[in-house]
């Protein structure tokens, strides 16, 4: 039952297969990798649906992707108010930059 575990962690399936086949322990996914995946996810949603629907749908996914990340609550709250794709991308970039500065 890893279905819900994949929400916000699309790497889980590959990590599980790798572990079962080679006993390779999963590595921690970095914030940069998570934000890159959020952007890719948003881009694919926007191509599949219109921008408005993509923005509504990505909000919950962003909450899952950033679950447990220090300082993510504020960014999640601001993203739930955004109505423009470019604004979300800007907020994600700013958050990553700020996070990296604070955790060096």
Which two structure tokens, joined as six digits, stand for 103? Answer: 């955790």
For residues 76 and 60, the answer to whether their CB atoms sit within 8 Å is no
Distance CA 21, CA 13 (A): 12
Q: What is the pLDDT of residues 17-42, one digit of tens each?
A: 999 999 999 999 999 999 999 999 99
Indicate the CATH number for domain 30-102: 1.10.1200.80
How would residue 15 be classed by pLDDT, with cut points 50, 70 and 90? very high
For residues 56 and 86, the answer to whether their CB atoms sit within 8 Å is no
For residues 61 and 38, the answer to whether their CB atoms sit within 8 Å is yes
For residues 89 and 39, the answer to whether their CB atoms sit within 8 Å is yes
Of 15, 34, 33, 35, residue with least CA distance to 25: 15
Does pTM surpass 0.85? yes
- φ, ψ of residue 25 to 5 degrees: the values are -70, 140
Q: What's residue 1's pLDDT?
A: 67
Q: What is the pLDDT of residues 80-89, one digit of tens each?
A: 898 899 999 9
């Amino acid at each position: 039952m890893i279905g819900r575990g994949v929400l916000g962690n699309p790497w889980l399936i590959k990590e599980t297969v790798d572990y079962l086949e080679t006993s390779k322990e999963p590595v921690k996914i970095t914030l940069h990798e998570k934000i890159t995946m959020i952007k890719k996810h948003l881009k694919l949603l926007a191509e599949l649906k219109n921008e408005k629907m993509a923005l509504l749908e990505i909000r919950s996914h962003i909450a899952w992707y950033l679950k447990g990340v220090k300082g993510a609550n504020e960014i999640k709250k601001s993203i739930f108010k955004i109505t423009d794709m470019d604004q979300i991308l800007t907020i994600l970039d700013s958050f990553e930059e700020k996070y990296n500065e604070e955790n060096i």
